Structure 1
């Protein structure tokens, strides 16, 4: 029976999380050559190329994405098994920031399970838009954030990529010959910037009908036909409809969601919760 090597899987995950073999080697306290050899052995053992390599960067192959998901589960199960028989339970405080839309879509069902596994870890959650969460992380107010990717913010790990959809109430009739009523987050939100920029580029008239601080505002504005908006696929509710490309609105591309940790050494509690969030968010299936 063929089995995957545990050490090779851990090295593979470290490379992906660090974003390069050089950084992974530093985090693992090993030489770059040793890390490269581990990756090569894993690829030889599976008979698959796991990374598409180019100068100073890489992307996961299809097989690499599949294996990464399994590798994280294997490593997490190992950690969970160790904690289950260990006399020393992981403890501490995790100050976590997440936009409330992402909270509803990604962690609503996982927090209770995590707390039951790690009863001595206390989670403190701050809901805010991504722009403000980045600032809170820089100022040392948070240990970990899940946020929409901002090109100006380095050091994050990509955990999810989703298509952005235009959405409206089921019976909403869009007339693009008239100014378009929009429900938008406040200034500084990446979603808002992308929506406004694309509408302006396509010379569409629009106005802000409903400025929202959280998902409740979008629920009210969209469900009642007061406005339309654009959200990532996993945030689309069943009572809404996705506006078709044929209706004349510009394509908004994809949104990238990243996990950012405070610089320097992080506690075991933060690391455990980061692993949980990473696995939960990356493995959610959009229906």
Structure 2
């Protein structure tokens, strides 16, 4: 083992290792890295030989990390980030390429307010395209190759291989002076299908056999909040979006508990080699800034 530690690790092999770990597939990583599956497999084997330990195991669901591989992953990402930053500073060439980033509107203020401007200030040559949509829509656009990376909730359209960032805090929200009748169907203000909180609420109500009907439907979070403040309907909102005109509803109103939900970071598989360093840089910034938000 002491002899293995004196050997220099191949940075390109580390890049391939990180790509396979992120995508969960040698074939997908080979496509992104513009290499053959055999070449990537040999790079991983050389890393394992140099480190004297197994890093990955091939299974029915693709490549999974061993305990040693999981420990290496964070260190490898940090090493590559520092290396690429050093090269950019000394050579005078910063990151470039195109980054297409998607996020739910509910969390846009946390991302657009400071994080994205800071990213562009650090990397002015990167072309950034940011969009908001429901988590279900974002997941489908990522799978189609329309987006480079997304922050999305882990429902209703679940994606594999994401990095969990935080646990969200959805609550039943109503106007401060709202009075509900236990016998009448619950009036709801909802996003259209593909919204995680819509699914959470409907699942919880149907499990309790509580009747409901959609009074107001909109793609705009601000429109839903206005409907709640006006007393038109009840909605499911992130707890920190409650305004002074709202109150959190729950047991006293006969409303069921909402299931847990998590925000995750997902990368696209069709990112070009020239754009990938910029995509990864934004992902690292999101992870650093928002990874412990919940």
Give the TM-score normalised by structure 2.
Answer: 0.68
CA distance in 2, matches of 1:185, 1:212: 5
* CA distance in 2 between partners of 1:230 and 1:126 (Å): 22
Aligned to 2:41, which of 14, 29, 32?
32
Shift, 1:220, TM fit? 2.7
Q: Which residue does the alignment assign to 1:254?
A: 261
RMSD of aligned alpha carbons: 4.5
Residue in 1 that maps onto 2:20: 15
Kindly indicate whether the alpha-carbon contact (under 8 Å) linking 1:149 and 1:256 is maintained by their aligned counterparts in 2. yes
The 1-side partners of 2:67 and 2:229 are apart by 37
Q: Is 2:165–2:265's contact at 8 Å kept on the other side of the alignment?
A: yes
What is the SS of the residue equivalent to 1:210? strand
Distance 1:196 1:70 in 2: 42
CA contact (8 A) 2:187 2:215 kept: yes
Which ranges in structure 1 are unaligned for 5 or more consecutive residues? none
Pair 94,9 (structure 1): closer, same or farther in 2 beyond 3 Å:
closer
* Counterpart in the other structure of 2:281: 276
Alignment of 1:84-163 (within 5 A): 84-133=89-138, 142-149=147-154, 157-160=162-165, 162-163=167-168
- CA distance, structure 1, for counterparts of residue 25 and residue 285 of structure 2: 23
The CA distance in 2 between the partners of 1:22 and 1:137, in whole Å, is: 18
Partner Cα distance (1:140, 1:151) in 2: 19
CA distance in 1, matches of 2:58, 2:142: 31
Structure 1 residues 118 and 16, CA gap change in structure 2 (3 angstroms) = same
Any conservation in 2 of the 1:156–1:258 contact (CA below 8 Å)? Answer: no
* 1:197 corresponds to: 203
Change over 3 Å in CA distance of 1:41–1:96 after alignment to 2 = same
Structure 2 segments unaligned to the other structure (5+ residues): none
SS of structure 2 residue aligned to 1:207: strand
